[in-house]
Structure 1
Amino acid sequence: MSDRMSCSQREPVMVITRCPLPLPLIFSSLFLVACGNAAVNQRSASGHDYHPDKQTSKQEETRPAVATVLDLHQSLDLKTLTPVLATRRVVYVGESHDNYAHHRAQLAVIEALYESGADLAIGMEMFQQPYQQYLDDYIAGKISEAEMLRKTEWYERWVYDYRFYRPILNFAKENGIPVIALNVPREITRRVSKAGLKSLSEEERGQVPADIDYSDQAYTDRLKQIFNQHGKEISQDFERFLQVQLLWDEGMAERAAAYLMEQPQKQLVILAGSGHLMHSSGIPNRIQRRQQVSSAVVLPGGDLKIEPGIADFMLFPEAAELPPAAVMGIYMEKADNGVLVSGVLKEGAAELGGVERDDIILAFDGEVVASPNDLRIQLLKKKPGDDARLTLLRRRILFGDKQLEVNLTLGQ
């Protein structure tokens, strides 16, 4: 199959390929926008034929031209869209990282493709390439979720709540769907952000793509607008900002393209921030440069401006909020033998349960905690209102250290 069909090769209602402007297609749970016909029907509502050689009036000559019309009465549900997506080797599904509704929509697309019989793999921006083995081990059932989070250094390398992505990873594990770590190591992007690509050592250069394409000027212009919104105007700073963005894009594209070559039977669903996918800039065109594959870009609407070529389809999921997390109401730091309580929130769960500042948490519900991340992982098992038992070490100058247990009811 060719990667794109021409705009004339279309179904009566829905266009399944990239055309000048998406056509909104609305349905109850997930609203979808498919690419529509950019040409305006030249037959008027009264049924009169359009005659291009007919002389126009002066009023008609000055009337503003309508380049594109969006038909908001057309509709398509996910069940109807799925066979279209199933024909594409790569399906890109965008997100705003902290939008729970977007992640629910991503999971809905993955579930629909899986149920259609697709042999899936899921590529994720959220994991970095050196930690692929631990994702493989988790999907294979060799390590627990907690161990996977520790080994992939989730809390150090991705700042967003793991619970946004947990249902997707659970579905992948339950169904043996490979999860591919797409992103480049954070240490490298940090170095480039501070001193540019030229600062990378020979060893570090071996971990990033040798070929970084700067030719997409429209993408560069959009990135410049984002950069300027943060009050940055120094050109040298923008050059480093651009290098980091392109390094992310090229790194993820190179890893995805390599996987597609290694696994020719797989359909790859790529989950990434919408900024990496809009207008097929960022990741899609860089995969295409490496390997010609059929693809579709699916973006969540709402926050994004609908404009020509932004995507093949747009999802408008129902609003949803991530359920409140169970919290203890403390500030914490790493200690040599556990987790140091560096602060206690007034009337929080910890204070009400008897936890004091400078206590060291040794265990949570009997499980040893060696770092703040261990405590975060333990809290994933809880919800607000649940009880928890802490084993503490309380330091006392006059009477020596004392180990004690306290029970508390977790808040939100």
Structure 2
Amino acid sequence: MVVSQHTHCLSLFLVLMVTGGCSIVESSPREAVPAMHGAAPKQTEAAVGETPVLDLNAYTTVEKLIPALAGKRVVFVGETHNRYDHHLIQLEIIRGLHQLHPQLAIGMETFQQPFQPYLNDYVTGAISEQEMLRATEYYQRWRMDYRLYAPILHYAREHQLPVIALNLPVELTRKVGRIGLEGLTAAERARLPDEIDRSDAAYAERIKEVFEYHPRGSGQPFEHFLEVQLLWDEGMAERAAGFLQANPDHHMVIVAGSGHLAYGSAIPRRLLRRVEADTAIVLNSWEGSIEPGLADYLLLPAEQPLPPAGKIGALLEEEDGALKVEACIDDSPCATAGIKAGDRILSIDDETINNQADLRLALWDKLPGDTISIDMLRKHWFTAGKTMTFEITLE
């Protein structure tokens, strides 16, 4: 099983305590040093004397981190969405805390709130993984390779742990991004979190720094961008707090993008406005300044890619409600099978294919060397076309 294969590897990862006795902060820019020999200016001497020092003996492992998290009712574990190693560490923490707290829930940014019933059905075994992915519209709404999150979902299903869909529906957040909260209809405003707190100036400043890196082609004003972030963070905090209030015997691990957790000002503090709980923030890697207050623990994992996925070897395009082959890559399974440009994919292993999301759903668990059956429609002038079936071994 994927999870157990990485346990030893995870135990070697280093953990840095960012709050408490040890910390790392970004050093100040160097002051100009005169081009002469002799003593350095006193101001430079003072700056050197205040250089932060990290005690390397304070490093620990993920396994040894679990007891430090055990007394926390809510543990936030950050991620860069496409980092497989981050998700494996999240699972390691979930597994360790579950052994201590059998009544454990997992809150996930990955899934949107209206689809909660399908996650419930998946965890209880009422529907299959494939049915859950289709019903939650996973590949239309989240789009990340599901294999990144599959080990967490598998563990939840195996142990019947509630998985809580934290995210707001994308239709709502996209509309706010276009026209702002004031442009919503009464019905849409009724779906907003009960409270949206704008009082944290440092939070807004960090969001503005992110905004400055975004392309300006859309013409989106910063206020709309900020409102979307507030909506995400308040919405996910409200959802998690609601579960904790309704289930006072449960602990929770919340897995979300690190930007929603860093400095505690996004999801964590907004959750604590709604429910009293001891919490800890664990970040996986961090590209910004490393300083006290960033998190409780910062993990430094070695990057680990997903295993190779099975591929058809075709360039595809969505056209008129169908998925059309633009070209087969040379010497690919597509080319070897005799598929031609213009052919339209009808189904794979009897699963209907209308778009890229359907294709990803049909292939997400396929490996190089697996064989699939593809039904294609090859159109001809003045005819309805011909249906053809190809057996393809993925590369």
Q: Under TM normalisation by the shorter chain, which class is it?
A: 0.7 to 0.9
Instruction: State whether structure 2 residue 390 is matched by structure 1 residue 406.
Output: yes
Cα pair distance change 1:197/1:59, threshold 3 Å: closer
Larger radius of gyration: 1
Equivalent residue, structure 2, for 1:37 = 21
Equivalent residue, structure 1, for 2:323 = 340
Instruction: State whether structure 2 residue 360 is matched by structure 1 residue 360.
Output: no
Cα pair distance change 1:225/1:232, threshold 3 Å: farther
CA contact (8 A) 1:335 1:371 kept: no
CA distance in structure 2 between the partners assigned to 1:266 and 1:317 by the alignment: 29
Cα pair distance change 1:296/1:398, threshold 3 Å: same
Instruction: State whether structure 2 residue 211 is matched by structure 1 residue 227.
Output: yes
Instruction: State whether structure 2 residue 84 is matched by structure 1 residue 100.
Output: yes
Deviation at 1:165, TM superposition (A): 0.7
Equivalent residue, structure 2, for 1:300 = 284
Q: Name which of structure 1's ranges 391-400 and 201-210 shifts more when overlaid on structure 2.
A: 391-400
Q: Name which of structure 1's ranges 201-210 and 257-266 shifts more when overlaid on structure 2.
A: 201-210
Cα pair distance change 1:395/1:275, threshold 3 Å: same
Cα pair distance change 1:61/1:122, threshold 3 Å: closer
Q: Size of the alignment, in residue pairs?
A: 365
Question: Which one has the bigger helix percentage?
Answer: 2
CA contact (8 A) 2:376 2:387 kept: yes
Q: Name which of structure 1's ranges 396-405 and 108-117 shifts more when overlaid on structure 2.
A: 396-405
The gaps in structure 1 that reach 5 residues or longer are: 1-26, 40-57
**SS of alignment partner, residue 221 of structure 2:** helix
**SS of alignment partner, residue 212 of structure 1:** coil
CA contact (8 A) 2:106 2:253 kept: yes
1:260-311 Cα deviation digits (max 9, x unpaired):
0001111110011101101101100100111121000000125343211100
CA contact (8 A) 1:334 1:372 kept: no
CA contact (8 A) 2:74 2:278 kept: yes
**SS of alignment partner, residue 73 of structure 1:** helix
Deviation at 1:369, TM superposition (A): 3.8
Equivalent residue, structure 2, for 1:240 = 224
Q: CA RMSD in A?
A: 2.5
CA distance in structure 1 between the partners assigned to 2:333 and 2:301 by the alignment: 35
Q: Which amino acid aligns with 2:72?
A: R
CA contact (8 A) 2:233 2:260 kept: yes
Cα pair distance change 1:403/1:78, threshold 3 Å: same
Cα pair distance change 1:385/1:284, threshold 3 Å: same
CA contact (8 A) 2:147 2:365 kept: no
Equivalent residue, structure 2, for 1:351 = 335
Cα pair distance change 1:387/1:290, threshold 3 Å: same
1:161-205 Cα deviation digits (max 9, x unpaired):
111111111111111111000011111111110110001111111
Deviation at 1:345, TM superposition (A): 3.2
Equivalent in 297, 301, 317 of residue 317 of structure 1: 301
CA contact (8 A) 1:335 1:360 kept: no
- What TM-score does the superposition give when structure 1 sets the normalisation length? 0.82
Equivalent residue, structure 2, for 1:120 = 104
CA distance in structure 1 between the partners assigned to 2:224 and 2:205 by the alignment: 15
The gaps in structure 2 that reach 5 residues or longer are: 1-9, 24-40
1:352-379 Cα deviation digits (max 9, x unpaired):
2111233232332344445543322221
Instruction: State whether structure 2 residue 160 is matched by structure 1 residue 172.
Output: no
Instruction: State whether structure 2 residue 268 is matched by structure 1 residue 284.
Output: yes
Q: Which amino acid aligns with 1:407?
A: E
Cα pair distance change 1:236/1:302, threshold 3 Å: closer
Instruction: State whether structure 2 residue 53 is matched by structure 1 residue 66.
Output: no
CA contact (8 A) 1:253 1:284 kept: yes
Equivalent residue, structure 2, for 1:87 = 71
CA distance in structure 1 between the partners assigned to 2:319 and 2:97 by the alignment: 43
CA contact (8 A) 1:344 1:356 kept: yes
- The 5-angstrom pairing of residues 5-16 of structure 1 reads none
Q: Which amino acid aligns with 1:209?
A: P
CA distance in structure 2 between the partners assigned to 1:267 and 1:203 by the alignment: 33
**SS of alignment partner, residue 134 of structure 2:** helix
CA distance in structure 2 between the partners assigned to 1:123 and 1:405 by the alignment: 42
1:144-172 Cα deviation digits (max 9, x unpaired):
11111111111111131111111111111
Equivalent residue, structure 2, for 1:3 = none
CA distance in structure 2 between the partners assigned to 1:379 and 1:371 by the alignment: 13
Deviation at 1:131, TM superposition (A): 0.5
Instruction: State whether structure 2 residue 134 is matched by structure 1 residue 150.
Output: yes
1:82-141 Cα deviation digits (max 9, x unpaired):
122121110000011111111111111111111234421000111110000000011111
Q: Which amino acid aligns with 1:178?
A: P
CA distance in structure 2 between the partners assigned to 1:38 and 1:169 by the alignment: 34
1:304-346 Cα deviation digits (max 9, x unpaired):
432111000111123201122222223142666xx43241233
**SS of alignment partner, residue 347 of structure 2:** strand
CA distance in structure 1 between the partners assigned to 2:343 and 2:218 by the alignment: 46
Deviation at 1:75, TM superposition (A): 2.6
Cα pair distance change 1:224/1:123, threshold 3 Å: same
Q: Which amino acid aligns with 2:296?
A: D
CA distance in structure 2 between the partners assigned to 1:283 and 1:88 by the alignment: 16
Equivalent residue, structure 1, for 2:94 = 110
Instruction: State whether structure 2 residue 367 is matched by structure 1 residue 387.
Output: no
Moved over 6 A (4+): 58-61, 233-236
CA distance in structure 1 between the partners assigned to 2:326 and 2:215 by the alignment: 34
Cα pair distance change 1:204/1:60, threshold 3 Å: closer
- The 5-angstrom pairing of residues 267-282 of structure 1 reads 267-282=251-266
